[in-house]
Structure 1
């Protein structure tokens, strides 16, 4: 083909049309005059100048000769002048899906349209695009994105081999040999990437860490926080953005994917695959698998160990399983399953913010007087019988439980399989635990007016900014204050 599309260094059709018009008017030629000189009808030439028709290379050579300019100059990718650049940008913006979604008519500039008007219109389009790129998902959009990501990870057994390999390489390069990854080794990993870890007590409330790319610093909360387990993870997550080549997220789904990947990298670094799998396989061989032992062996939190188990159990132990983080009011905050456990969902398929069955071990564990040890329970559900191990904890926002469970035939590998605690769950049948007993309904129906406590972090949209949930103004003010440190 000899169309412009096959020429690697040519302008796009819109820019080309503007350049032809520019040189034609510069030489005082009408459409008819240039058309006659080039052997093309004025109407066809008008379509070319308006970017509605792509000329053949042979015609371009004729036009260049008629205009008295080198062909290379005619084919330059640069708009011929500032006004042409504005007209081209406006045309492209109005053809985009963002403007199209507004249902407004397109504005076609004429010779009489003031340049100031074009500048104002283009400026409005730029601001519209900027705000759209920074707009953060509504609650429904966030739940849908979460659901899509969870389903994708379930299809991959919650396992990302490329990140496993990368983490092993970086941990080995830090000099780590065995045992828990130390703060010093995490610092070495940062130094190898050109970063210094700095602990400060004035991080913006909307951030967990801030990476100063210009000065090679990663700012973290004070190192004196209890245990310091989270600091290693936060530092590793910040490094993961660089190691994984992340760019600024273009959508909420992109943000969620990046967050999952940095969390995955941190878990891989704190519990390296080879050592973690060796530990788990030995425990399975001894029929003594326990999240608390896995936790203690690598010096991490109970939740981190439980989540890491979901990465490795199916791929390396041939074991489907589920993970739940549930609030003391029954709200499900995090969940994963590839064992068929019927998790509660909303109409979008999202599980976050749903209430789990009162009969599940994730909720029964809160009724125990002694919560220092794991609680074990078998639960009969419409999908089969499951065994689970649950540990409770608390934060300033209230209590929570961490559960790891497996189908009945997999319980034989776990400590706590001898438990006699057993419950029956018929959820999602409302008669199981969501519908009050008939006697209480008859007594209290229409006589109570409770005030609901909203799960704001689940139902509210995140603040807008370059990164979801982060206040740009606070971040930039913080960096400016510390740039001279």
Structure 2
């Protein structure tokens, strides 16, 4: 029962008191009127004694019943024995398939301490590997601040990506072809294969044994293209990634592989030459950058955050916002006041209704770029916004925003827009607090049923890689492995 005694602690107290008085199991059993085997079960926490037996044990051991039921183990050895017993009864140990070690008096103290310490470390690493939403937000915040501090620029990845793409046949301008990506994979000993039955929990799968990279047969609307997915899989190999030991490391690897893919599809030299020429003409535009390299609008916008500050001396911000106003992804090194919670996390926070990223959803024409100036407590910013969808009928619509401080708008197409709004967020009076007359009219008379996003509650499934189901993954690999593979 939940309010019953802790049987392991009770058992160790009985054993501790029995051995301290020099009694054997047979002797104590004879004194209390029970068999030695029953006493052994009680001492090992596998049987709960009846109250009458508990009183008899207390009398024979010359203690009070309350002493036997105390919550604390009698000494450090007993505490370690209890910890080891509990660890070996848990599901984590059961998954290892290892034999149990009996925490008896014959087990040396150093061995006992080492076993308990190993189990504790195993449990700690398991908890780190399955990230909770809180852990994910903390890790995301650390990564975002780190990227901001270095202007989201990774020169070592830039060098590696440009070298590999150039050696794979990239002519030095325009879009990187699928054939170039395939050659890059071949140079590393991998073959790209398009399949229709990838595990639902994986975007790509790499077969290290047989030198194969499995990618989907088609791109996902609003998601990564096939070239990008293949390059991300390749990135794990060329960047020397090992199996992530924590969720924070898993997220860091995701940032690095996404960066490598973008730096390969939009190589630094060709991209900077293109962007610098447009800057001289005061005609910078994400859509032109996107079309010149044959990537998605979001990929081009994110790539600008890598190159604009370091190579063009332009600070900027990037936002991906859902049609409900929630911020999916954001970056800023220009002082744009991104909404954040008390921990500093920005994911899921609502952006101001007056920001261009959200005002764009009010338009009927969603095919063309939307430009707007926004006055904020941190200054005036200019924004260029493009709409996108993840499915038919505008289901899952989102906006992609690239913006700069007012002084740098002069380099961009759309700077002559007359649209201008004023935002005082995070002041609730800006756009969060309803007008007083509406609040008075409807206070206490409305009860909405909120839409629940289940993903904010669930931890990622356990596995060798966060979020990937091992059983599904290995079944897929076995299904597609060459017939002559061992």
Q: With structure 2 as the length reference, what TM-score do the two structures score?
A: 0.74
Answering whether residue 343 of structure 2 is matched by residue 348 of structure 1, we say: yes
Answering whether residue 295 of structure 2 is matched by residue 300 of structure 1, we say: yes
Do the aligned partners of residues 150 and 130 (structure 1) sit closer, same or farther apart at CA in structure 2, a change above 3 Å counting?
Answer: closer
Residue aligning to 1:291: 286
Residue aligning to 1:207: 202
Do the aligned partners of residues 223 and 433 (structure 1) sit closer, same or farther apart at CA in structure 2, a change above 3 Å counting?
Answer: closer
Do the aligned partners of residues 245 and 448 (structure 1) sit closer, same or farther apart at CA in structure 2, a change above 3 Å counting?
Answer: same
Shift of 1:198: 0.6
Residue aligning to 2:434: 436
Answering whether residue 159 of structure 2 is matched by residue 165 of structure 1, we say: yes
Per-residue displacement from partner, 1:11-58 (whole Å, max 9, x unpaired)?
xxxxxxxxxxxxxxxxxxxxxxxxxxxxxxxxxxxxxxxxxxxxxxxx
Q: CA separation in 2, counterparts of 1:459 and 1:282?
A: 47
Among 397, 400, 406, which residue is 1:402 paired with? 400
Shift of 1:468: 1.4
Contact 1:229 / 1:300 at 8 angstroms: preserved in 2?
no
Answering whether residue 112 of structure 2 is matched by residue 153 of structure 1, we say: no
Shift of 1:466: 1.4
Q: CA separation in 2, counterparts of 1:227 and 1:461?
A: 25
Matches of residues 23-422 of structure 1 in structure 2 within 5 Å?
Answer: 112-113=106-107, 125=119, 128-129=122-123, 132=126, 135-177=129-171, 178-223=173-218, 230-396=225-391, 398-422=396-420
Residue aligning to 1:61: none
Q: Secondary structure of 1:441's match? A: helix
Q: Secondary structure of 1:334's match? A: strand
Structure 1 range deviating more: 313-322 or 132-141: 132-141
Q: CA separation in 2, counterparts of 1:281 and 1:473?
A: 49
Q: CA separation in 1, counterparts of 2:255 and 2:307?
A: 16
Structure 1 unaligned residues grouped into runs of 5+:
1-89, 95-106
Q: Secondary structure of 1:398's match? A: coil
Shift of 1:446: 1.0
Q: CA separation in 2, counterparts of 1:423 and 1:111?
A: 76
Do the aligned partners of residues 425 and 127 (structure 1) sit closer, same or farther apart at CA in structure 2, a change above 3 Å counting?
Answer: closer
Q: CA separation in 1, counterparts of 2:369 and 2:457?
A: 31
Contact 2:371 / 2:417 at 8 angstroms: preserved in 1?
yes
Q: CA separation in 1, counterparts of 2:313 and 2:273?
A: 14
Contact 2:125 / 2:245 at 8 angstroms: preserved in 1?
no
Q: Secondary structure of 2:185's match? A: helix
Contact 1:327 / 1:400 at 8 angstroms: preserved in 2?
yes
Do the aligned partners of residues 260 and 228 (structure 1) sit closer, same or farther apart at CA in structure 2, a change above 3 Å counting?
Answer: closer
Do the aligned partners of residues 124 and 273 (structure 1) sit closer, same or farther apart at CA in structure 2, a change above 3 Å counting?
Answer: closer
Per-residue displacement from partner, 1:153-176 (whole Å, max 9, x unpaired)?
100000000000000110011011
Shift of 1:454: 2.7
Shift of 1:470: 1.2
Do the aligned partners of residues 318 and 459 (structure 1) sit closer, same or farther apart at CA in structure 2, a change above 3 Å counting?
Answer: farther
Do the aligned partners of residues 167 and 224 (structure 1) sit closer, same or farther apart at CA in structure 2, a change above 3 Å counting?
Answer: closer
Q: CA separation in 2, counterparts of 1:364 and 1:143?
A: 26
Structure 2 unaligned residues grouped into runs of 5+:
1-79, 85-100
Q: Secondary structure of 1:194's match? A: coil
Do the aligned partners of residues 123 and 141 (structure 1) sit closer, same or farther apart at CA in structure 2, a change above 3 Å counting?
Answer: closer
Q: Secondary structure of 2:389's match? A: strand
Q: CA separation in 2, counterparts of 1:450 and 1:284?
A: 49
| Equivalent pairs, count | 383
Per-residue displacement from partner, 1:216-244 (whole Å, max 9, x unpaired)?
10001114777997100000000000000
Contact 2:222 / 2:390 at 8 angstroms: preserved in 1?
no
Do the aligned partners of residues 282 and 197 (structure 1) sit closer, same or farther apart at CA in structure 2, a change above 3 Å counting?
Answer: same
Q: CA separation in 1, counterparts of 2:382 and 2:222?
A: 31
Shift of 1:367: 1.0
Q: Secondary structure of 1:172's match? A: helix
